[in-house]
Chain A
Amino acid sequence: MKRSDGLRVAAASLIENPLRTFLTLLGIAMGVTAVIFVVSMIEGLNRYMGEKVAKVGSSSFTVQKYGILTSHTEYAEARRRNRGIRHEDAEAIRRFASDVERVGIQRGWGVSPKYGSRSVSDVQMLAQDYDAYLIESPDIAQGRGFSQGEVQRGALVCYLGWEVADKLFENRDPVGRKVRLWGRGFVVNGVAKKQGSILGHSQDNFVSIPLGAFEKIFGSRRSINLIVKAKDPLRMEEAVDEVRMVLRARRHLRWDEEDNFGVITPDSLMSFWRKLTQMIFSVALFVVGISLVVGGIVIMNIMLLTVVERTREIGVRKAIGARQKDIRFQFLAESVMLCAAGGVVGVGLGWLLAYLVRTITPLPAAFPLWAPILAVVVTSAVGIFFGLYPARTAADLNPIEALGREAC
């Protein structure tokens, strides 16, 4: 028998039993749907993170007391070893790091700004020096930001995030009015443009003040964060290395000691994120693996049932000249087609779900091309694996006994 005829025979028997075929491939289809959907979600989250959170492609990075900490042990270790970042560190970087264009200093803090009797809690306070302000270069929608003089002398001025301005002032023009922080009045210079939210976290819930003003109130002994802009976005890594060398030298770290400060680059944020999603992904893959095995067992069961049900047909085929391998090929082809069809249906459903997510939410859910290809390859392999036993059973039937079963 020719292979094409074998495939045709197998396809015909699947088409003749549409309900059985559908129910059989359902398990596989669901498994594949799940994996395609998970891959799409993770891919979508990765893109979202890359575009919005890590701002990949930007040329600045942060230096702070702690880096990205992923476990309690790491945290305990960092607590013990790490030293705060000081103004002198910034000075040293400015002096020695040639790939660095600008070093800004900033500090963050949670505050509750007040205006009259109104108050907004859980607002992010950002104290910036002039370099940090220039690196940040906020989009001011109303009024203005800071002047160099204001920042240098630590004037009690501020600009607000859109949400804070809206909550404190409602319809009034905030420019020129005074917001109270820690009991002191800060003149509102302007309001930043609305930025929306990332992963449900508002980007407009902040108040920025000059670093000098902050340190007048709280002193300058606390650890600061540095925001460093590389001269050339393509030489970001070199800039990061220079900064690390300068700080390590200042801290007299031996060559075999780890950094006792943290550098957070878009890349390190992304790789942290990817590590996280890989974990989610491998768990999801495991679950899907189980569902594929279950789906495969369902197919094996149905195929075994089919062999029993079609014993007489197998006998007839053998009597008129089908060889064992012809019968084996027919049943194997059936189970592979079932599985592959399940894979295709699953890819379709998964795509549909991803499309819905993409349309309804801001997440750009999409799967890479390898996902559907892999899905169909893997499900076909499942088909071969779980089809082998039923196919062998069918092929090994004795034609006399097979023909002996009562006819319908």
Chain B
Amino acid sequence: MNDILLDLKDIWKTYDLGATSVHALGGVSFEARRNEYIAIVGPSGSGKSTLMNLIGCLDTPTKGRYLLNGRPVSEMDDNELARARNEEIGFVFQTFNLLARQTAQRNVELPLVYSGMPRSERVERATEALEAVGLGDRRHHRPNELSGGQRQRVAIARALVTRPSLLLADEPTGNLDTEMGREILSLFDRLHEQGNTIILVTHNPDVAKHARRVVSLLDGRIESDTGNGARR
């Protein structure tokens, strides 16, 4: 079924701490279809960051199988993971993680630099992406000349510029005040309506409310899953 974007089966992540070993994830299984809007919630230490890293191809599971877009991430080497991150995933971080000395435009271009896109095409795509998040007039500003909300929107433009299969956001409103947070969340809503698949990792129930489906983690396992609400 081509409609399934993420397919995780019995995923384990174990950290070996010398004498003892810690199971950050203990047998997580779930699927996500295209154009879902999922929130992964749970208290700190529940394993949600580990899960996010696995979904985002930053790490591979100790045990279990993970298919992203039909490709087995669990068997990829470093280069293939980097490629998957570049093509399939758009990251949005809590702390924005923009390159401080580069303009918004350059920051947004960066993923395309790594995919080897020619310069002129790159500039065009980055401009488009910045316009899509409403920052067409801030293209040549550096991060320190932008507000927090604007910075996060630059980060979102950077995540979208490669047209990824999945937008993966880690506490995207955590460093923003309520007003700006709301602004970012309504941008996510709009992106979802436009057909993007979004996974949001948060511990904030108000943020999770925006998602159509909420997956709760506790102690490395899925405690509850509201299911494919959008597909009902």
**A residues whose Cβ falls under 8 Å from a Cβ of B:** 1-2, 5, 9, 12-13, 16, 312-313, 315-326, 399-400, 403, 407-408
Contacts and interface: CB of A to CB of B under 8 A. Distances in A.
A403 B93 contact: yes
A16 B95 CA distance: 22
A320 to B, nearest CB: 4
B91 A319 contact: yes
Which among B56, B114, B115 has the greatest number of chain A C-beta atoms within 10 A? B114
B93 A326 contact: no
A323 B76 CA distance: 13
Contact of B78 (A312, A323, A400): A323
7 contacts: A1-B116, A319-B56, A319-B85, A321-B83, A323-B79, A324-B79, A325-B79
B99 A323 contact: no
Contacts of B162: 321
A400 B86 CA distance: 15
A2 B112 CA distance: 11
Contacts of B83: 321, 323
Contacts of A407: 95-97
A321 B97 contact: no
B75 to A, nearest CB: 17
B59 interface: yes
B60 to A, nearest CB: 11
Given A318-B82, A321-B82, A323-B79, A5 B53 contact: no
B56 A321 contact: no
B93 to A, nearest CB: 7
Given A399-B58, A400-B59, A407-B95, A320 B110 contact: yes
Nearest to A399: B58
B79 A408 contact: no
Given A322-B114, A400-B53, 10 more contacts: A313-B99, A319-B58, A319-B91, A320-B86, A320-B91, A320-B158, A323-B79, A324-B78, A324-B82, A400-B59
Point out which of A1, A319, A325 has the most chain B C-beta atoms below 10 A from its C-beta: A319
Q: A-side binding surface: helix, strand, loop or mixed?
A: helix
Given A1-B116, A400-B58, A408-B100, A321 B111 contact: yes
A2 B110 contact: no
B146 interface: no
A262 to B, nearest CB: 70
B82 A323 contact: yes
Contact of B101 (A16, A316, A319): A16
A318 B110 CA distance: 11
Nearest to A5: B113
B7 interface: no
A324 B53 CA distance: 18
B189 interface: no
A315 B83 CA distance: 15
A321 B115 contact: yes
A321 B53 contact: no
Nearest to B159: A320
Contacts of A319: 56, 58, 85, 91, 93, 97
Nearest to A321: B86
Nearest to B113: A5
Contacts of B95: 407
Interface string B40-56: 00000000000001001
A312 B97 contact: yes
Interface in B68-122: 78-79, 82-83, 85-87, 91, 93, 95-102, 110-111, 113-116
B111 A320 contact: yes
Given A16-B101, A400-B58, A407-B97, A317 B79 contact: no
B190 to A, nearest CB: 22
A321 B85 CA distance: 5
B110 A317 contact: yes
A9 B100 CA distance: 14
Leading 6 A-B pairs by shortest Cβ distance:
A321-B86, A407-B95, A321-B114, A323-B82, A320-B111, A316-B97
Contacts of B59: 400
A408 B97 CA distance: 9
Max chain A C-beta neighbours (<10 A), residue from B79, B82, B102? B82
A400 B53 CA distance: 7
Contacts of B115: 321
